[in-house]
Amino acid sequence: GESVGLHLPTLSVQEGDNSIINCAYSNSASDYFIWYKQESGKGPQFIIDIRSNMDKRQGQRVTVLLNKTVKHLSLQIAATQPGDSAVYFCAENTVGYSTLTFGKGTMLLVSP
Amino acid sequence: SAVISQKPSRDICQRGTSLTIQCQVDSQVTMMFWYRQQPGQSLTLIATANQGSEATYESGFVIDKFPISRPNLTFSTLTVSNMSPEDSSIYLCSVSDGTSGSYQYFGPGTRLTVT
């Protein structure tokens, strides 16, 4: 399929490693944050979300950390698998608005 | 979660022509959105498709270039008018159940190449 990650920063890891993908946001009024995974040739897929009244949320193999002081968001993937290879986007939402603003994205490449 | 389909999945069009992209959802949804994703780039919101009224466009996007319809709560169309090679992108439809504080589900996208 066609790649959407031609010009994106890339993180390369070995299978089984833990991966950390970072995102900086600019709007201090943002209060809801989402991580999406986009595989080649597909639309973005929801992974995990977090609201601004939390600083950590865990899912299955994934953890999102939110640092509102420095406006930073990270996605941690435990025991990374080849199927995790994709482009990952953070998105932010501001209270009272229905729209999302997407970050630039990071391509994750997992080697067997 | 909502299941979203888009037609066509891809197309190659000549400059100066127009293409209408359809987005169908398997359940009624409150909000529908259209995004553009240029090669190697992130997603940029084009507009919010409002049921029964004119779409709300983001800065840099205008109705004459990207007319949008939303006749009901499960269907929307985006037309890319008078196309140029710069319009070559992936166009994505998304939906959500609420207003603020709701994540969006995305369709598979339509890959448009303008020659």
Write the DSSP assignment of B30-94 as a string of letters: SEEEEEEE-TT---EEEEEEPTTS--EEPTT--TTTS-EEEEETTEEEEEE-S--GGG-EEEEEE
- Contact yes or no for B45 and A103 at CB 8 A: no
In chain B, residues 21-60 whose CB comes closer than 8 Å to chain A: 31, 33, 37, 39-45, 48, 58
Q: What is the 3-state secondary structure (H, E, C) of chain A?
A: CCCCCCCCCEEEEECCCCEEEEEECCCCCEEEEEEEEECCCCCCEEEEEEECCCCEEECCCEEEEEECCCCEEEEEECCCCHHHCEEEEEEEEECCCCCCEECCCEEEEEEC
Q: What strand order describes the sheet that includes B68-72? A: B4-7, B19-25, B75-80, B68-72
The separation between the first and the last C-alpha atoms of chain B, rounded to the nearest angstrom, is: 36
Task: Give the pLDDT mean for B12-41.
Answer: 96
Average per-residue pLDDT in chain A? 92
pLDDT on residue A3 = 39
Q: Is the pLDDT score of B101 beyond 80?
A: no
Residue range A66-98, pLDDT digits in tens: 999 999 999 999 999 999 999 999 999 988 888
Task: Give the pLDDT mean for B71-99.
Answer: 94
User: In chain A, whose CA is at the least distance from the CA of B56?
Assistant: A99
pLDDT on residue B102 = 81
List of chain B residues whose C-beta atoms are within 8 Å of the C-beta of residue A26: none
Q: Considering Cα of A34, then A32, then B104, then B62, what sign does the dihedral take?
A: negative
pLDDT on residue A4 = 40
Q: Cα–chain-centroid distance for residue B63?
A: 13
The answer to which of A2-6, A62-66, B55-59 has the lowest mean pLDDT is: A2-6
- Contact yes or no for B39 and A96 at CB 8 A: no
DSSP 8-state class, residue B22: E
d(CA B75, CA A13): 41
* B99 pLDDT tier (thresholds 50, 70, 90): low
Q: Note whether B2 contacts A: Cβ–Cβ < 8 A.
A: no
- Contact yes or no for B100 and A95 at CB 8 A: yes
The answer to which of A4-13, A17-26, B66-75 has the lowest mean pLDDT is: A4-13
* B1 pLDDT tier (thresholds 50, 70, 90): confident
- Contact yes or no for B42 and A96 at CB 8 A: no
- Contact yes or no for A43 and B106 at CB 8 A: yes
DSSP 8-state class, residue B106: E
Q: Note whether B105 contacts A: Cβ–Cβ < 8 A.
A: yes
pLDDT on residue B52 = 83
pLDDT on residue A1 = 38
Q: Note whether B107 contacts A: Cβ–Cβ < 8 A.
A: yes
